[in-house]
Amino acid sequence: MDFLLENILNLVGFLVGLAIGIMSYIGFRNTGSPTLFRLTIAFSSISLGFFVIWTGYVVEDFVTKSGSVERSIQTVGIAIQMVGYFFIAFSHSIKSFFPKSSYFRSVIILPLFLVSSVQLEHIFRSVSFILLAYGAIETMLSYFENRNKGAISVSAGLGLLALGEFLGWYSFVFPESVLYSASMIIKIGGLILLFIPVSKVPLTKMKFDEDPK
């Protein structure tokens, strides 16, 4: 049952990410915004990552029948998603890769202590968590400065994605638990929250890159 649920959740993640990627591309075509172009790459990468992992489940279910998904397939999918998280965090909030504040530096360094081995999955998930947590914090700070209501949805979405990656890391530590399914559900919820501000762009034809003076 858990295997089937994880299979379905990866498929749903692929479809949700693909839908947001298409919407971002439509927004880019209507507005010419470089931010939306980066978001198109981001959500396409996230969607592709879900697709790769889902393909691993399908192969295991119908071909290998080994009882577990090939670790290398999961690693590739997580790495592709990590690239997408970089673009989505950068597009929404990150002005420079390393923050000036010592507090935010601690946020970046802290997840590195969670890496219990040199396995690539742990490293990729740690980097993803760093990008998403930092993006969520920066976006929320921008809301307090500009009072842009869309920033709340973006910050919450990034926060849920970060939590999903954190739980996904713990699912490797406790492989028989429901943490992986929970992380997938939370990540899908985060993508849906990010879809809300992106979905308005093609209708309003707003340019996100114009700074008010």
Query: How do the pLDDT tens digits run along the chain, 213 residues long?
Result: 466 787 888 889 999 999 989 988 888 888 887 878 888 898 999 999 999 988 888 887 777 666 566 777 888 888 899 888 888 777 655 443 334 444 444 444 444 444 444 467 777 888 888 888 888 888 888 777 777 777 788 888 888 999 988 888 777 777 667 888 888 899 999 888 888 877 776 555 544 444 444
The reply to whether 146 falls in a domain is: yes
What CATH number should be reported for the domain holding residue 108?
1.20.1070
**Does residue 194 form part of some domain?**
yes
Please enumerate in sequence order all residues whose Cβ is within 8 A of that of 210, keeping only pairs 6 or more positions apart, or say none. Answer: none
CB 141 within 8 A of CB 126: no
**How many angstroms separate the Cα of 171 from the Cα of each of 40, 53, 108, 184, 211?**
29, 15, 21, 11, 42
Please identify which residue in the block is written with the tokens 């969670």.
114
Closest CA to 51 of 25, 88, 17, 23: 17
- CA-closest candidate to residue 153, choices 193, 181, 187, 120: 193
- Contact yes or no for 35/24 (Cβ under 8 A): no
- For residue 143, is it within any domain? yes
Residue 67 is predicted with a pLDDT of 59
Is residue 210 in a domain? no
Place of tokens 């080994």: 66
Would residue 138 count as lying in a domain?
A: yes
| Sequence letter at residue 3 | F
Contact residues for 189 (Cβ-Cβ < 8 A; gap 6+): 160
Angle 71-92/120-146 helices, nearest 10 degrees?
20
Instruction: Give the pLDDT of residue 56.
Output: 84
Tell me, yes or no, whether 211 lies in a domain: no
Domain count, the chain: 1
Which pLDDT value is given to residue 186? Answer: 92
Distances (CA, A) of 41 to 22, 60, 150, 169, 170: 10, 29, 21, 24, 28
Rounded to whole angstroms, the Cα distance separating 43 from 36 reads: 10
Domain that holds residue 187: 2-204
Q: Given its phi and psi angles, is residue 32 left (phi above 0), alpha (psi -120 to 50 degrees) or beta?
A: left
List the structure tokens of 212: 């008010």
**213 lies in some domain:** no
Q: SS3 of 67, please?
A: coil
**pLDDT score of 210:** 44
pLDDT at 101: 46
pLDDT given for residue 202 in this prediction: 54
Helices (H), the chain: 2-31, 34-59, 71-92, 102-109, 120-146, 149-173, 179-199, 201-204
Q: What is the pLDDT of residue 45?
A: 93
